[in-house]
Amino acid sequence: MLNIVLFGPPGAGKGTQAEKLQEKYGILHLSTGEVIRGEIGRGTELGKLAAEQMEGGKLASDELVLGIIAKYIEEHKSAPGVIFDGFPRTLPQAEAFDRMLDEAGTKVTVMLALEVPDEVVTERILTRGKTSGRADDQSIDTIRNRIEVYKKQTAVVADYYKKAGKFRAVDGVGTIDEIFGRLCAAIDALR
């Protein structure tokens, strides 16, 4: 199984690149944000719980997110691999994720970290906000806060995978195709 943790700050281009990687390598793409928004939109019990937890801009709890991931792994055991986009986002999630994969008889193959300067991700998010309609993509203060939360809470996950020898930094600046080429080169070097 080719299990990729696609990592980087908000606006790094993870979703765009995950779609291209999914197509090239024939593996699944799991965006935890999209799954959670989908559950909320359908009004499921999981969605109601997530909506309550995320009220006021808070993050969904580790327990809730891990439950979503565990369900996904169980339902897709026979997949050739998965791109995990936006997960794990905390050290406890990364540790629990590794245990979960181990129990399923697989493991994280690599963490590909898109490295993009703050000013570039800020501009990308503002541009996306003009077309997406997402309010959180249209406020500079909100964007800066998301970047700071990423640095304080999420960036430590990269250290976890560095220690495991599974971390690969990828320059996330350039055209979509240039960045895609760098990601593919990192994946192909593992095979």
* Cβ proximity of 154 and 142 under 8 Å: no
**Amino acid symbol at 44:** T
Active site residue 14: yes
The burial of 184, by beta-carbon neighbours within 10 Å (0-12 exposed, 13-18 middle, 19 or more buried), is given as: middle
Q: Which of 150, 35, 165, 63 is nearest to 107 (CA)?
A: 165
DSSP secondary structure letter of residue 150: I
Reduced to 3 states (helix: H, G, I; strand: E, B; else coil), residue 83 is strand
Choose, from 124, 146, 166, 182, the residue flagged as catalytic.
Answer: 146
Choose, from 128, 166, 168, 182, the residue flagged as catalytic.
Answer: 128
- Residue recorded with tokens 């245990």: 99
Choose, from 89, 124, 166, 182, the residue flagged as catalytic.
Answer: 89
Active site residue 134: yes
Choose, from 71, 107, 134, 151, the residue flagged as catalytic.
Answer: 134
H or E element, residue 84: strand 81-85
Residues marked active site are found at 14, 89, 128, 134, 146
